[in-house]
Chain A
Amino acid sequence: QKEVEQNSGPLSVPEGAIASLNCTYSDRGSQSFFWYRQYSGKSPELIMSIYSNGDKEDGRFTAQLNKASQYVSLLIRDSQPSDSATYLCAVRGAGRRALTFGSGTRLQVQP
């Protein structure tokens, strides 16, 4: 079992729709959770962080965390073609400083 799992996609949504990206993790003691966006050939860009159960909203992005289910998700409202990228889920495990990343979900927003 991978430490951080994501569906590789591609997830295809029409422009203006809500894109829902999901991630599960295995370390129950994990403390911090992050979503990065990565365009092809570029480095990861931090878009959201979440540390406690519930929802956290930032503009069109909402991160959701459920530690009991070991599940974190990212919702993108009013999806735009410029949102087309790979979205990486990253988790900081208990007592660790480094992040463990999933393999990413490729999102395609169709104009």
Chain B
Amino acid sequence: DTGVSQDPRHKITKRGQNVTFRCDPISEHNRLYWYRQTLGQGPEFLTYFQNEAQLEKSRLLSDRFSAERPKGSFSTLEIQRTEQGDSAMYLCASSLWAGLAGDPYEQYFGPGTRLTVT
């Protein structure tokens, strides 16, 4: 399977615990995005990387959230001191930017990690 992969697929944690999610993008894609989706809503942007550089962060990304993409390949999203409001599907997407004007920016999503904070 050459699509975007995410691990774990499901995570149940107690309030106050830290959790870390991993995303492996499509191999040739140099852009990687994290989104969060709650029931009945569309995905909301959290942050994005071009290669290893984190170029944009949403105001939704509080200080408890941190993301890395150390070698420009896989990425991790860590949530510290989880709260019940963090319960959501965390989605990773990737795209290819070839440096050309008019690039399509088509983003392909992984299966997501469903987080439940009890």
Residues of A within 8 A of B (CB): 4, 8, 32, 34, 36, 42-46, 49, 51, 88, 90, 92, 96-104
Contacts and interface: CB of A to CB of B under 8 A. Distances in A.
B42 A101 contact: yes
11 contacts: A4-B42, A34-B107, A42-B111, A43-B111, A49-B106, A90-B42, A92-B105, A97-B31, A98-B33, A100-B45, A101-B42
A108 B12 CA distance: 32
8 smallest A-B Cβ distances: which pairs? A101-B42, A98-B45, A43-B109, A43-B112, A44-B109, A101-B43, A88-B42, A43-B111
A104 B40 CA distance: 8
A46 B26 CA distance: 14
B59 to A, nearest CB: 12
Given A43-B91, A51-B102, A97-B31, A103 B109 contact: no
A88 B107 CA distance: 13
Given A34-B106, A99-B45, 17 more contacts: A43-B91, A43-B109, A43-B111, A43-B112, A44-B43, A44-B91, A46-B106, A46-B107, A46-B108, A49-B104, A51-B102, A97-B31, A97-B50, A98-B45, A99-B33, A101-B43, A102-B42
A51 B43 CA distance: 21
Given A44-B91, A46-B106, A103-B42, A98 B48 contact: yes
Interface of B: 31, 33, 40-45, 48, 50, 55-56, 58, 89, 91, 102, 104-112
A83 B62 CA distance: 37
Contacts of A45: 109
